[in-house]
Structures are given as C-alpha cells and as structure tokens.
C-alpha cells in the first residue's frame, strides 16, 4: 500500500485527539471548530472520505450524560444542595463537557475511519 510505504503508521488516538491528519500526523484535520478540511496541507490526503456522521454526537451525549448526571447525583446525595446550585453548576458543565469533547471525538472517529478503511457497504457485482 502506498500510504504505508510513504508514511509510518500513526496512532489514531494521538492524531484524532490532537486534530491532526490521520496519514502524516502533521497537517490539520479541521478548518473550523469541527469542519473537516478538504485535504491535508502537508501530505495532500483527500479528506473527503471523512464522514463521522452522528458518531461523535452520540458518544458526546453518552459521555456527558454519564459524567454530568453522575456528578449531579453524587452532589445531591452527599450535600443535598438547593436546586439553584444544580442549575448553576451542572447546566454550564453540560455545555463545557459537550463542546470540549466534540472535536477530539470527531477527530478520533475520522482517524479510526482512515486507519480501518471504513466506508459504506457495497453490493458485489
């Protein structure tokens, strides 16, 4: 395979969480906050294959629910604070955790997609 000959294999976790190109590990994967660049500016990898779909949102929702709900329940059980304390602490925490995890998880899923050569299933003719 040409990619493996020219570029050493990159860890999808390192490149994905850092938002770097899954082939060379140097170019940037994103142009905006979560917009995928058309191609890598270093190695020229066409990033049109990168379609994580709803995958990152699903993981962000599940992780956020686990972290924030767990923290809210622990706080309620241990301290029994008034309701406004939950609103002040955990509503912003939902936003921070969601926004903070979306880009790294999208990068990870795109890097894993590249590494595992994942694509749409096709009927054999």
* Least CB distance to Zn ion at residue 22 (A): 8
Sites of contact with Zn ion (CB under 5 A): 21, 23-24, 27, 40, 42-43, 45
Q: Which of 63, 58, 57 is nearest to 93 (CA)?
A: 63
| 23/103 with CB nearer Zn ion | 23
* Least CB distance to Zn ion at residue 115 (A): 13
How many angstroms separate the CA atoms of 24 and 51, rounded? Answer: 19
| 25/56 with CB nearer Zn ion | 25
* Least CB distance to Zn ion at residue 43 (A): 3
| 64/103 with CB nearer Zn ion | 103
* Residue-wise burial string across 16-39, b where 16 or more C-beta atoms lie within 10 A, e elsewhere: bebbbbbbbbebebbeeebebbee
């Amino acid at each position: 395979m040409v990619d493996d000959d020219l570029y050493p294999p990159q860890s999808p976790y390192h490149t994905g969480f850092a938002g770097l190109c899954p082939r060379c590990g140097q170019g940037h994967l994103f142009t905006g906050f979560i917009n995928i660049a058309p191609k890598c500016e270093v190695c020229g990898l066409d990033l049109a294959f990168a379609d994580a779909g709803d995958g990152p949102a699903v993981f962000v929702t599940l992780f956020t629910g686990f972290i924030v709900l767990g923290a809210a329940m622990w706080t309620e059980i241990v301290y029994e604070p008034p309701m406004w304390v939950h609103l002040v602490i955990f509503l912003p925490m939902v936003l921070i955790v969601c926004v903070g995890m979306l880009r790294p998880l999208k990068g990870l899923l795109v890097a894993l997609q590249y590494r595992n050569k994942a694509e749409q299933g096709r009927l054999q003719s």
